[in-house]
Structure 1
Amino acid sequence: MPLKNGKSQKTISENIRTLVHEYEDDGAIGNSHPASKKKAVKQAVAISLRKAGVSRTRKSRKARS
């Protein structure tokens, strides 16, 4: 199933859900075969954010301490 276009959080979440579901069915996301579900989720997030054209926000150093 093709991914949806859009920058909204709802669209990004739906795309992540679609990719993870694809991994659970086939054991692959596209041509890639992540070793674990955790890695598949990270890859799905990266693909969805790339499709939306947004970057991943990072926590500041003070917030992590």
Structure 2
Amino acid sequence: MPEMYFAVRWPDGSSQQCYSPSSVVAEYLEPGTRYPVGEFVERGCAALAVGSGRVREKHGFECGSALA
């Protein structure tokens, strides 16, 4: 379950580096694709919930960083 970091460029032009405890985020977000903010938040939250669940299955606790 490799962790990964990914960059997000927001509509105001700012960038942010984000963390996922699992590479599952690549199944939810396609690099270079523009998403409406609401869709991005939905996809991102779903991916981070799955990643956190994978941590829980392996280690017995969820990933606090993904949940934040």
TM-score range relative to shorter protein: 0.3 to 0.5
Higher relative contact order (CA 8 A, sep 6+): 1
Looking at secondary structure, tell me which structure has more helix per residue.
1
TM-score, length basis structure 1: 0.39
Rg larger in structure: 1
Looking at secondary structure, tell me which structure has more strand per residue.
2
